[in-house]
Copies of this chain bind each other. A is one copy, B any other.
Amino acid sequence: MASDERDETDERGGAETRPAKAQKSEQTRTLILQTALRLFQERGYDKTTMRAIAKEAGVSVGNAYYYFAGKEHLVQGFYDRIGAEHGAAARAVLDKETDLETRLAGVLTAWLDIAAPYHEFAAQFFKNAADPESPLSPFSAESQPAREAAIALHREVLTGSKAKIPAELEDILPELMWLSQMGLVLYWVFDRSPERERSRRLAARGARLTNRGVALARFRVLRPLVHEVHELFKDFLPGMAETATARKRS
């Protein structure tokens, strides 16, 4: 959506060259997003209006709406940004380590590092995102791109490791790993320990547990249970069915 809008800007471009125009457009987009996040933190999500964001960013209200159709879209922009930063930060461990536990612990810890500046925002924002039917929920249709990217990262954690994964679980394990990351995020939101040290320990413990669970998946008798857990999440969380459908299409 956002990229379509940027294309449109490019086509209207006159004197400026396409790349210069696109770069300026991206800068404005970033400025609006950063301003919104600051105001969300300072005033609360519910109390911040698009008008106030535009004013603080020094752009017209029309311009703000041009880049983001509403507050929800700003949050999606925030999710996408966090995801992109996380993907980049995770490279260090994904390109080097082959042990599943080390890879997963590294990726989860990288997320805690990236998200650290937004902890306060997350705590006050939580009640908006906790409702699975809210567009701001990680399980919503609107969050599908951010969710896909995060699941793809977990797929890479798995496939790039030396762990042996039964073919029948290759697709669903990354989704379950992402779900358990959502559990970590929920824990982190309420974590008041210094430097979120408890969340960091939970990330390490969760990685160890996942590694053991994956090792047990070599026992055929267990696999139906893994499928059933996955089916349950797919049937009851709105976004998980779409994610599975998208995976089958690709």
User: A residues bordering B, Cβ < 8 Å?
Assistant: 126-127, 130-133, 187, 190, 192, 198, 201-202, 205-206, 208-209, 212-213, 216, 219, 221-222, 224-225, 228-229, 232, 235-236
Interface pair A235/B205, CB less than 8 Å apart: yes
- Given A202-B236, A206-B232, A236-B198, A133-B190 contact (CB < 8 Å): yes
| Assembled-state Cα–Cα distance A232/B206 (Å) | 8
Dominant SS at the A interface? helix
Closest to A232 in B: B205
Interface pair B225/A213, CB less than 8 Å apart: yes
Closest to A124 in B: B127
Tallying the copies of this chain within the complex gives: 2
Interface pair B187/A236, CB less than 8 Å apart: yes
Further contacts, 13 of them, CB under 8 A, given A212-B224, A219-B222: A126-B127, A126-B130, A130-B190, A131-B190, A132-B187, A133-B190, A133-B192, A202-B232, A205-B232, A205-B236, A216-B221, A219-B221, A222-B222
Most-contacted residue by chain B among A205, A209, A235, A236 (CB, 10 A)? A236
28 contacts between A and B (CB under 8 A): A126-B127, A126-B130, A127-B127, A130-B130, A130-B190, A131-B190, A132-B190, A133-B190, A187-B236, A198-B236, A201-B236, A202-B232, A205-B232, A205-B235, A206-B232, A208-B228, A209-B228, A209-B229, A209-B232, A212-B224, A212-B225, A212-B228, A213-B225, A216-B221, A216-B222, A219-B219, A219-B222, A222-B222
Closest to A192 in B: B133
Nearest chain B CB to A194's CB is how many angstroms away?
14
Closest to A198 in B: B236
| Assembled-state Cα–Cα distance A213/B225 (Å) | 7
Would you list the 9 A-B pairs with minimal beta carbon distance, nearest first? A127-B127, A131-B190, A202-B236, A205-B232, A132-B190, A209-B228, A212-B225, A216-B225, A209-B232
On chain B, the residues within 8 Å of A126 by CB distance are 127, 130
